[in-house]
């Protein structure tokens, strides 16, 4: 009975991951293709995805809990792009 609860809760949180990741991807692609401004939801989608994998009752998938953090544009890719722009701005102010 407990295993069924974990499977259902894992499916619900994975659905939330899919929703947040789709919204983040559409905002990023809208900006890239149409220069349309939007706001992404940082970290929530990736955390839902990682949590859903950790909750899944089969141990063999737990080692892949980091994958949603990379797939969601609001997590690690967002941090890397932000770090790139901050570094770029800092370098421009130094070498003026």
End-to-end CA distance of the chain, in Å? Answer: 65
Residues 30 and 68: beta-carbon distance below 8 Å: no
Give residue limits of the domains in the chain: 2-94
What's the rounded Cα separation, in Å, for the pair 62 and 32? 33
Residue environment code for 37-73, b if the CB has 16+ CB neighbours within 10 A, otherwise e: eeebbbbbbbbbbbbbbebbeeeeeeeebeebbebbb
pLDDT tens-digit series, residues 1-12:
888 999 999 999
Strands (E), 1-96: none
Residue 48 reports pLDDT greater than 80? yes
* pTM (2 d.p.): 0.82
Check whether 96 has a pLDDT greater than 80: no
């Amino acid at each position: 009975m407990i295993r069924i609860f974990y499977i259902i809760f894992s499916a619900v949180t994975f659905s939330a991951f899919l929703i947040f990741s789709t919204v983040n991807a559409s905002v990023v692609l809208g900006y890239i293709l149409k220069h349309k401004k939007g706001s992404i939801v940082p970290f929530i989608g990736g955390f839902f995805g990682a949590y859903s994998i950790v909750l899944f009752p089969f141990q063999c998938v737990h080692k892949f809990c980091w994958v949603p953090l990379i797939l969601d544009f609001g997590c690690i890719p967002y941090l890397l792009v932000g770090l790139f722009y901050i570094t770029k701005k800092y370098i421009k102010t130094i070498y003026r």
